[in-house]
């Protein structure tokens, strides 16, 4: 199959605040495979600060690809390039199985609230857009201030909604305990607390996951499939957050999820419609019962977000 690639460079509508800092621009690569009769698309959307290769490494990889590739080329992509593995393999699947053009089952989505007090207003817009699961980031302001906002938030949100909390590894052990106590006392179901501690504190998180009734999820600890397998082997039986676009090979991810029957939540790394569709397909297949973190349409406002066709997206680059 013939392979071509193009680079995109998109500005967030407003910089995304994470505990890793402020994120303003998303760079990625769209892949287009063609054989005699068909066209397939894939996306490489690396997230260096989260544990994948860098955009530069992915671009170097694309530049050294031969004009024609086969399955062996894809199977030979090193594990150090998980976003490239995902992009090329999903483009291949798109051609072979027509997977991206199939209609996706409608998965519930989780809407990302802005940090801090802004969440107290924003949840209503998301609610009117149909979101019933919300995610709110912790570890951005001092603990006691955040707990106060949290208590106002859970009183405001209808009780049928679910709330996910994400600390991005930014809490200390005592802070994590305090949050889990607060969550355990909540009337509104807290679906889970995501990555309370840094990946280095795996044992403490595993211990916490058995001490409180609020479930814990690993995210930063399990950026790639290798890390996912490692944490599973070290005894993690609570929830895993999977970001398929940087996890690595979709077929190997499928194998692992089927074999171990893990409880997983699928989540975006702010891909375009192409990477998102490939990720949603995996989510529908592997974990249809949890809302996916592929909230759309309020972080970007460009033609890559909801193109009429993937071909159109390609030609806009």
What is 190-208 written as a DSSP string? EEEEE--S-GGGHHHHHHH
Q: Would you call 261 a catalytic residue per the annotation?
A: no
Q: Binding segment for Mg ion among 68-76, 127-135, 191-199, 200-208 (CB under 5 A)? A: 191-199
Work out whether 191 is an interface residue with Mg ion (CB under 5 A): no
Specify the residue, 31 or 265, whose C-beta has the smaller distance to Mg ion.
265
Nearest to 242 by CA among 278, 273, 214: 278
Closer to Mg ion at the Cβ: 88 or 193?
193
Instruction: Rule CB under 5 A: choose which of 166, 191, 201, 271 binds Mg ion.
Output: 166
CB of 266 to Mg ion, least distance (A): 12
**Interface region with Mg ion, contact rule CB under 5 A, candidates 54-62, 122-130, 158-166, 185-193:** 158-166
Rule CB under 5 A: which of 210-229 touch Mg ion?
Answer: 219
Among 194, 218, 225, 246, binds Mg ion (CB under 5 A): 194
Determine whether 135 is an active site residue.
Answer: no
CB of 63 to Mg ion, least distance (A): 31
Between 22 and 312, whose beta carbon lies closer to Mg ion?
22
By Cβ distance, which residue is nearest to Mg ion? 219
Long-range contacts of the stretch 138-144 (C-beta < 8 A, 24+): 138/165, 138/166, 138/167, 138/168, 138/170, 138/171, 138/179, 138/193, 139/19, 139/167, 139/168, 139/170, 139/171, 139/175, 140/17, 140/19, 140/115, 140/116, 140/170, 141/115, 141/116, 143/175, 143/178, 143/179
* C-alpha to C-alpha distances, 209 to 42, 101, 240, nearest whole angstrom: 36, 39, 12
Which residue, 53 or 219, is less far from Mg ion as judged by CB? 219
Residues in touch with Mg ion (CB under 5 A)? 166, 194, 219
Active-site amino acid positions: 137, 243
């Amino acid at each position: 199959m013939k392979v071509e690639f193009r680079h995109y460079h998109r500005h967030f509508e407003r910089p995304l605040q994470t505990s890793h800092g402020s994120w303003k621009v998303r760079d990625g690569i769209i892949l287009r495979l063609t054989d005699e009769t068909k066209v397939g698309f894939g996306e490489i959307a690396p997230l260096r600060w989260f544990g994948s290769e860098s955009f530069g490494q992915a671009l170097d990889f694309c530049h050294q690809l031969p004009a024609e590739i086969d399955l062996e080329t894809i199977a030979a992509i090193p594990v150090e390039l998980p976003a490239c593995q995902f992009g090329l393999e999903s483009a291949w699947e798109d051609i072979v199985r027509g997977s991206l053009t199939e209609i996706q089952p409608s998965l519930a989505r989780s809407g990302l609230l802005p940090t801090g007090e802004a969440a107290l207003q924003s949840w209503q817009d998301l609610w009117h857009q149909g979101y019933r699961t919300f995610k709110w980031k912790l570890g951005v302001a001092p603990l006691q201030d955040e707990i106060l906002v949290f208590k106002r938030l859970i009183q405001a949100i209808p009780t049928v909604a679910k709330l996910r909390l994400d600390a991005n590894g930014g809490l200390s052990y005592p802070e994590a305990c305090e949050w889990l106590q607060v969550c355990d006392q909540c009337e509104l179901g807290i679906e889970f607390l995501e990555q309370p501690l840094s990946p280095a504190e795996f044992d403490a998180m595993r211990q916490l996951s058995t001490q409180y009734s609020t479930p814990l999820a690993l995210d930063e600890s399990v950026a790639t499939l290798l890390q996912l397998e490692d944490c599973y082997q070290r005894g993690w039986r609570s929830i895993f957050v999977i970001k398929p676009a940087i996890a690595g090979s979709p077929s190997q991810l499928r194998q692992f999820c089927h074999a171990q029957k893990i409880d997983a939540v699928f989540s975006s790394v702010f891909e375009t419609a192409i990477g998102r569709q490939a990720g949603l397909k995996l989510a529908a297949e592997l974990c249809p019962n949890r809302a996916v973190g592929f909230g759309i349409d309020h972080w970007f406002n460009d033609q890559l977000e909801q193109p009429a066709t993937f071909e159109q997206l390609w030609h806009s680059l």
